[in-house]
Structure 1
Amino acid sequence: MPTRSAVTGRSTDPRRRFAEELRLLRTHRGESLRQLGKALGWDASLFGKMERGHTIGSPEVAEALDQHYGTPGLLLALWELAAADPTQFKERYRRYMLLESEAGSLWHYGVSTIHGLLQTKGYARSLLMAGGISGDQLTRQVDARMGRCEVLHADSAPHFRTILSEAVLCTPLADANEWRKQLEHLVAMGEQPNITVQIVRFEVGLHALSNTDTMFLRLPGGRTSAWVETGYSGEFVEETASVERLQHAYDAVRDLALSPADSRKFVMRMLEELPCEPST
């Protein structure tokens, strides 16, 4: 029997959860499979198979369903989990990704990479390739990651604060043009009203999160959980006292960081120092 979440009562198995969400969204809309197929231009039998867990479809179908139901990024995130090799994600990371798609606000600290929600396609592709992913799987995961980014542009978009170590900006892509696009994207995203970008300079020295990527999730009902990740493992933290200790550490790092305005100027200076794009 599949494991059920104690909070929502829904399955924590990625494929079953994906099928459940599809069925719930359609029935809440009051649509038949035939009506759904007509609205999106795919055969109704495809959606029936997806709701029964016989197939997960393609990322294009998941993206179209997100647009249809007004759930930007949610179904693509669930699709990505359902499509992944089970050996790729431990159960606690699957749980984190599901909750990330439901969070009302997100607070992130990055040690060495830009968070997926702020990545360009070129950056995501390079990062996933460095992790050993290639071929069709690489294409699917890049597309799914780009689709998840849409959650930050929805009408009900969460507030997202990212604090990045200066080391993140000192680890460029091999392709200078793609790196320029990523830095420009970071600046542009930081100008969105629901997104805050800050930089922690090397000069502040060691601090409580010096070697730890951290994401806090403010969940429906006001509960806060955290995902803590090092280069070798990750841990989902839900116990209140442990989350509070992490939040105190995060607040201390935020106090050390450049202001959002000064962070923007810092990234802009890095852009000015990049070599000019070759003329075509």
Structure 2
Amino acid sequence: MSTSRGPSVRQRRLAAELRRLRERKGLTGDEVAERLAWSTAKVSRIENARTGAKIGDVRRLLDLYEIDGSRRDDLISLAHDAAQRGWWEDYRDLPSELADFIALESEATAVREWGSTVFPGLLQTESYARHVIGGWSDLATLPPQELERRLEVRMRRRELLHKAHPLELSAVLDEAVLQRRIGDQKVMREQLEHLCRMTELPNVTVQILPLDAAHSVLAESFILLEFSPVHDILFPDIVHTESLTISHFADEAVTHMYRLAYSSLADQALDTTESRRRIIEARDAW
């Protein structure tokens, strides 16, 4: 199992800005390497976030690009942030695709999710999540200890909704998700009760797309991650999709299509008040 770790959003922001500053200065990677007595490969690795940029190296680059004042302070601060380890890096047995997704999710400002099969991971109870992850275990033959660690990771991810500046989560769920049994009746009732409580949070919005509503968008489940600027450095929104065998981050060019798909699904879904009523009915039915 691969345990490699992709760059964090902070590392990618820093790398992109350092590349932009070099280009604005009219220098090539080879020229930067020559002036700093580095290899061209080192410059490339830093600018493509394939390696973490050391603070001293960032200072030397900013000196070369003649960046000072508040802009320099912002970039040094970003470099310090980028050097921080994420909590998920303590789980070295996580697949690299899952670790990469958690790294992106942890720095997102907002998440738009279309759920056609199960409840969003950030809204799952421990019992429900155990059965969902256990289903994957049947296919991937995860040992019991690893299954428990995956469950622990999923529960820790939920903290994003309760931190000082919480993640904004908007989800549209196919009504079939409310009726699809995962575990037993107790698990489903507990899950739906938890969902009701979560909809009371100001940063959580849940809409239900009824089975008898017109479905103009027939799409697999997807998650749209949105990022606010940090130190005036932009980072593109990212779409994540998943199948039995593939965890996929869509190209930036197709992100807009998924944004339109989400807007269409939200327009066709019930409003939040009627959605909550539908959730309560499903809970009581279980």
TM class by smaller structure: 0.5 to 0.7
**CA drift at 1:77:** 3.5
Distance (Å, rounded) in 2 between the aligned partners of 1:250 and 1:260: 15
Distance (Å, rounded) in 1 between the aligned partners of 2:6 and 2:281: 50
Distance (Å, rounded) in 2 between the aligned partners of 1:232 and 1:165: 23
Structure 2 residue 134 is matched with structure 1 residue 126? no
Q: 2:162 aligns with which of 153, 156, 161?
A: 153
**Gapped runs of 5+ residues in structure 1?**
21-73, 275-280
Distance (Å, rounded) in 1 between the aligned partners of 2:153 and 2:244: 23
SS in structure 2 at match of 1:167: helix
Relative to the length of structure 2, the TM-score reads 0.65
**CA drift at 1:231:** 4.6
Bigger Rg, structure 1 or 2:
2
Structure 1 residues 178 and 251, CA, compared in 2 at 3 Å: closer, same or farther?
same
> 1:172-209: per-residue Cα shift (whole Å, max 9, x none)?
2232112111000011001100000111111124332x
Judge conservation of contact 1:99–1:219 (CA < 8 Å) in 2. no
**CA drift at 1:110:** 0.6
Q: 2:13 aligns with which of 2, 7, 12?
A: 7
CA RMSD of aligned residues (A): 2.8
**CA drift at 1:232:** 4.7
Instruction: Name the aligned partner's letter for residue 13 of structure 2.
Output: V
- Partner in structure 2 of residue 102 of structure 1: 107
SS in structure 1 at match of 2:258: helix
Distance (Å, rounded) in 1 between the aligned partners of 2:156 and 2:130: 14
Q: Which runs of 4+ in 1 moved over 6 A?
A: 10-13
Distance (Å, rounded) in 2 between the aligned partners of 1:3 and 1:236: 12
Judge conservation of contact 2:226–2:237 (CA < 8 Å) in 1. yes
Judge conservation of contact 2:174–2:209 (CA < 8 Å) in 1. yes
State which drifts further: 2-11 or 184-193: 2-11
**CA drift at 1:95:** 3.0
Q: How does 1:78-117 map to 2 (within 5 A)?
A: 78-80=89-91, 82-84=92-94, 88-90=95-97, 94-117=99-122
- Partner in structure 1 of residue 270 of structure 2: 258
**CA drift at 1:79:** 3.4
Report the count of equivalent residues: 209
> 1:67-88: per-residue Cα shift (whole Å, max 9, x none)?
xxxxxxx9443434x332xxx4
SS in structure 2 at match of 1:164: strand
Q: 1:242 aligns with which of 232, 254, 275?
A: 254
**CA drift at 1:238:** 4.0
State which drifts further: 125-134 or 225-234: 225-234
Judge conservation of contact 1:107–1:216 (CA < 8 Å) in 2. yes
Structure 2 residue 217 is matched with structure 1 residue 228? no
**Gapped runs of 5+ residues in structure 2?**
16-45, 55-84
Distance (Å, rounded) in 2 between the aligned partners of 1:126 and 1:174: 6
Distance (Å, rounded) in 2 between the aligned partners of 1:197 and 1:232: 28
Structure 1 residues 167 and 89, CA, compared in 2 at 3 Å: closer, same or farther?
farther
Judge conservation of contact 2:125–2:190 (CA < 8 Å) in 1. yes
Structure 2 residue 223 is matched with structure 1 residue 215? yes
Instruction: Name the aligned partner's letter for residue 193 of structure 2.
Output: E
Distance (Å, rounded) in 2 between the aligned partners of 1:254 and 1:77: 32
